Amino acid sequence: MGFALGGIAAKVLREANMDAFRLTQIRTSGAALILLAYILLKDKSQLKATRSEIKDLIIFGVIGIAAVTSFYFFAIKYLYVSVALIIEFTAPIWIVLYLKFVKKKSVPPTMWVGITFAFSGLILISQIWSGSSLHPLGVFVAFLDALALALYFIFADRLSQTRSSISLITWGMSVAAIFFALILPWWNFPFEFLTSTYSLQGELSAYSAPGWALILWIVVIGTVIPYLLTVTAIRELSASTSSVIGMIEPIFAGAIAWWLLSEAFTTIQLIGCAVVLIGIYFADKARNVAIKL
């Protein structure tokens, strides 16, 4: 639910034309500072990393954190929050296709059932026959987000076997913060977004909030807390089970966005959402079987 709540505040800032990469930069940097302060006070030895881990930690931070967040923030300007999340959570499909055609693993036929359901559902959501299909750029970036999320699950599953959840997410956020500091210097950051006041949307349209409050909400409620819970879940339940549970996220996002942003679906689109989630479930089950073979 935290990611969904964070997405609401991010949607407001994106509608105000805050750059998706700058929004990701301040989100990851703020989260990194909070997590680093906490872990340094509690047990700084958790930050130690072996030479063999460094490469995976960098990939996890740049792709699993920086890319996933940036692509999501970019997509929600053009798509409903829940639609962007539904496309993002097709990650298990891309993992099982990778296992089938690249790793040449034996994959059960349910893979094709899952893929058929998922993409049939996306067709229902887009309602392409009505002439009012989803924004193509938003859809394209959301699918890039799904590929990045697939890597997130893979590397989180691998790294969480030897690291605590808070250590892993602190490393990921710190790597992402450093990455953005290198490509987007802080002295060019549009700090006016922090001091400006923004009108909220939907049911809260009568209210407004300063940019810094929205950012703080995104950092704490939409980043630190849900990421820690997600990585902890992956450690305890495995990436497969966690990704299935993660499918609840678009449902929460849809309900919250409907209530706060007035992002209402038609009946056909709601059916499409359910069909996509069923497809993701079947694909993830197939992936889990393929990994064990």
- What pLDDT was estimated at residue 85? 84
Handedness of CA 35, 36, 42, 47 (dihedral sign): positive
- What pLDDT was estimated at residue 232? 67
Q: Kindly report the average pLDDT of the chain as a whole number.
A: 85
Show the tokens assigned to 146.
């799904």
Contact indicator for 46, 166 with CB cutoff of 8 Å? yes
- What pLDDT was estimated at residue 241? 57
- What pLDDT was estimated at residue 106? 84
Residues in CB range of 36: below 8 A, 6 or more apart: 170, 174
Half-sphere exposure of 195 (CA within 13 A, CB side): 4
Helix (H, G, I), strand (E, B) or coil at 54: helix
- What pLDDT was estimated at residue 228? 74
Closest CA to 156 of 63, 71, 89: 63
pTM: 0.87
- What pLDDT was estimated at residue 30? 96
- What pLDDT was estimated at residue 108? 86
For every residue of 174-217, DSSP letters joined together read: HHHHHHHHHHS-GGG--THHHHSEEE--GGGTT-EEEHHHHHHH
Q: What angle do CA 167, 92, 52 make, to 5 degrees?
A: 35
Helix (H, G, I), strand (E, B) or coil at 246: coil
Cα 197 from Cα 200, distance rounded (Å): 10
DSSP, res 45: G
- What pLDDT was estimated at residue 224? 87
Which class for 34: exposed (0-12), middle (13-18), buried (19 or more C-beta within 10 A)?
middle
Alpha carbon 243 to its chain centroid, in Å, reads: 11
- What pLDDT was estimated at residue 92? 81
Neighbours of 48 (CB within 10 A): 9
H-type helices in 60-190, by residue range? 68-75, 81-88, 91-101, 110-126, 136-159, 165-183
Residue with tokens 């893929």: 115
- What pLDDT was estimated at residue 99? 82
pLDDT digit of tens for each residue in the chain (293 aa)?
A: 666 678 889 999 999 999 999 999 999 999 999 999 989 998 889 899 998 899 999 999 999 999 999 999 999 999 888 788 888 888 888 888 888 888 888 888 888 888 888 888 888 887 755 655 688 899 999 999 999 999 988 898 788 888 888 899 999 999 999 999 999 999 999 999 999 999 887 777 778 999 999 999 999 988 888 877 766 666 565 555 555 566 666 767 777 777 777 777 778 888 988 888 888 888 877 877 776 66
Length of the chain: 293
